Structure 1
Amino acid sequence: MTSSELRWTIVVVLLAAVGVVALWPLLKGGPSVPPSGSVNQQFGIGADVASPAPDDVELAPLRREAALAPCPLPALDVPAPPGPLAGVVVPCLGSPGAVDLGPALAGRPVLLNVWASWCAPCREEIPVLSDYADDSGAIAVIGVNVQDRPSDALQLLVDLGARYPSVADPEGDLRAALQAPPILPTSYVVRPDGSLQRVDPPAVFRTPEEIRLTVGRYLASSG
């Protein structure tokens, strides 16, 4: 076991020991708890199975209802910087098409939030992220939906009224680039130069002010 794996194992054990359900373990191949009111037949618990890619025809009605903000597009006058997100192309959850994250996020700070509809702490955090994203001084917020059914993910955003953009990660390429731990939710602050840093220790944001302070701290640090 590597030191990084050992550290995350200790985090999970400590959370369980104190009886605080704040962060949910993410099993290798699917949700540890199926979406509410449904049977988890599509994913094998612990199996090496990727999420389904968004089906544009099937998702069209939900996308119209969700009315998510558009996924980011590259700025013509900003070159794509090197960094972990270079070459990572993922589907946009709220509309047809894919996002090349390196150039799309170049030149500006971004808060990436990794989530799933079956993750109870994610459901609590999404409205807080939405309130923060609506503030005039906020940096861009982009959700990263993982190991989930796109229809369930969109329905949750409809139910919560959250409209900041989200991308899907059906093949796990983005999670691999982020070196994401097996815990949800997880957040990352992306700097304008393409570097990024995971919010560590992991936390569930409770207020927009907590997000503002966290973002400011990580943008001020050099990584």
Structure 2
Amino acid sequence: MHPSSAGRWSLAALVVVIALIVAIWPRGNDDAPAPSATGAATSAAPVDRRAQDNPQALAPLRETAALDPCPSAAGTPAAGASADSPLAGLTFECVGDGSTVDLAAALAGKPAVVNLWAWWCGPCAEELPVLEEFAERAGDAVTVVTVHTDPNEANALSKLTDYDVHLPGVQDGSGRVQAAVGAPAVLPVTILLRADGSVAKVLPQPFRSADEVAAVVDEYLGVAV
């Protein structure tokens, strides 16, 4: 006796239901990180720079790049105002010489232009020389500092040499500045800081001339240069 057509369809439907149950039946957490040798889960937390970018490896690149010194809090008037900055308490490595920079304290007391960039960013390559031109034009009226937001510090130094840009900058491969000011996850980003360390404006856009930078500095920081 052969099964009826209805019976064959019922059997097929039962097979499909069983397959679906097997597919969604709970299993162990297959996506959990593999345990390390000590039994703890491994972590993929971001780092400010690669392990191979040690002082010895970076020394010749730093000498060639010849960056300007990072700003320092020493002798800065109204340094206490840095407590109002979202960057307060954040320290970074100075790309130019490897020293430690408390960024909020170093920028306190003067309006600042903080530029976020990365070595692989095309628009950043066009913008950095523009920012250097603006910095030369602004002189002591405004501090201009760069923040490299990729762990590859060696490539940052090589690119700055290629661009012939000598602006002071800090290494922030983990993107702490970007997170602290609530900047979008794009590059380049320019942050305008008031003298008290508070954020006047976050600008996720490239600048193509020193005049464009001067215009936003005048508009949001009230400094005409």
Q: TM-score range by the shorter chain?
A: 0.7 to 0.9
Q: Deviations over 1:60-111 (max 9, x none)?
A: 0010111100001103343322221110111111112110012111100110
Cα distance change, pair 51–120 in 1 and its aligned pair in 2 (3 A): same
SS in 1 for 2:79: coil
Q: Do the aligned partners of 1:189 and 1:197 also contact (CA within 8 Å) in 2? A: yes
* Mapping of residues 33-182 of structure 1, within 5 Å: 49-52=46-49, 54-76=53-75, 77-81=77-81, 82=83, 83-137=85-139, 139-182=142-185
* Offset, 1:176: 1.9
The residue type paired with residue 56 of structure 1 is P
Q: Provide structure 1 residue ranges, at least 5 long, that are not aligned to the other structure.
A: 1-46
SS in 2 for 1:187: strand
The number of equivalent residue pairs is 174
Cα distance change, pair 192–185 in 1 and its aligned pair in 2 (3 A): same
* Offset, 1:184: 0.3
* Offset, 1:145: 0.2
Q: State the alpha-carbon separation in 1 of the partners of residues 150 and 98 from structure 2.
A: 19
Q: State the alpha-carbon separation in 1 of the partners of residues 88 and 160 from structure 2.
A: 28
Which structure has more RCO (C-alpha within 8 Å, separation ≥ 6)? Answer: 1
> What TM-score, normalized to structure 2?
0.72
Question: Whose helix fraction is larger, Structure 1's or Structure 2's?
Answer: 2
Q: Once the two structures are aligned, what percentage of the paired residues are identical? A: 40
SS in 2 for 1:141: strand
* Mapping of residues 16-31 of structure 1, within 5 Å: none
Cα distance change, pair 48–75 in 1 and its aligned pair in 2 (3 A): closer
- Work out whether 1:187 is the aligned partner of 2:190: yes
* Offset, 1:174: 2.1
Q: State the alpha-carbon separation in 2 of the partners of residues 149 and 126 from structure 1.
A: 18
Greater gyration radius: 2
